[in-house]
Amino acid sequence: MLTVVGCLVEAHDFRLVALAAGICALSALTTVCLVSHARRAGGWVQAGWLAVAATAGGSGIWATHFIAMLAFAPGVPSGYDVALTGLSLAIAFALVGSGLSLAVLVGGRAAAWAGGAILGLGIAAMHYTGMAAYDVAGHKTWDPATVGVSLALGALLGGAALAAQLG
């Protein structure tokens, strides 16, 4: 835990971290409002609201993550693979859209839990793809147990959040 805190304090530009947090909050609020419109609409109008909600949510999640990554300055040469960075954005759009669509179109508490789990796993997939895009003069490793816990928590908390919102 101290390693994480040390990394945050010593190797991040807090102005960019604050910007990422602001984008996260605004895009989350925007997405919730758009989903509310989608729930009240039907047919093509509902599909349009869901597409806009997926765009707002996916781009907000991706922008939050990418800006937070730009805030990290490890003190060694680093960069980003453009193709993998673009793929991480596509993953965010696709899985946020899938999760929100399942929750809204099917309806009910179980669909909200499942849709939220897809959304949480989509955030994780975007994150790990974005991290794979990070080129650094060094060796990257991931602890499989930590990755597993992050996936489980993402699915659980995403499900709980969407179920609480859509109930």
Spatial distance between the Cα atoms of 143 and 158, rounded to a whole number of angstroms: 22
Cβ neighbors of 116 (< 8 A, separation 6 or more) are 99, 103, 158, 159, 160, 161, 162, 163
The three-class DSSP label of residue 139 is coil
CB half-sphere exposure, 96, CA atoms < 13 A:
27
Query: How far apart (Å, rounded) are the C-alpha atoms in residues 132 and 74?
Result: 16
- Under the banding of pLDDT at 50, 70 and 90, the label for residue 78 is confident
Q: What is the pLDDT of residues 99-133, one digit of tens each?
A: 999 999 999 999 999 999 999 999 999 999 999 99
7 or 119: which carries more pLDDT confidence?
A: 119
Residue listed under structure tokens 């994480």: 4
d(Cα 126, Cα 96) in Å, to the nearest integer?
10
Say what the pTM is.
0.89
Q: What is the pLDDT of residue 117?
A: 98
Q: pLDDT band for position 42 (50/70/90)?
A: very high
Copy the structure tokens of residue 104.
Answer: 């809204």
Identify the CA nearest to 166 among candidates 105, 107, 119. Answer: 107
Tokens of 101: 């669509």
- Enumerate residues 6+ apart whose C-beta is below 8 A from 118: 95, 98, 99, 102, 158
Position 4 pLDDT exceeds 60: no
Query: What are the structural domain ranges in the chain?
Result: 2-166
Asked if residue 76 has pLDDT above 90, the reply is: no
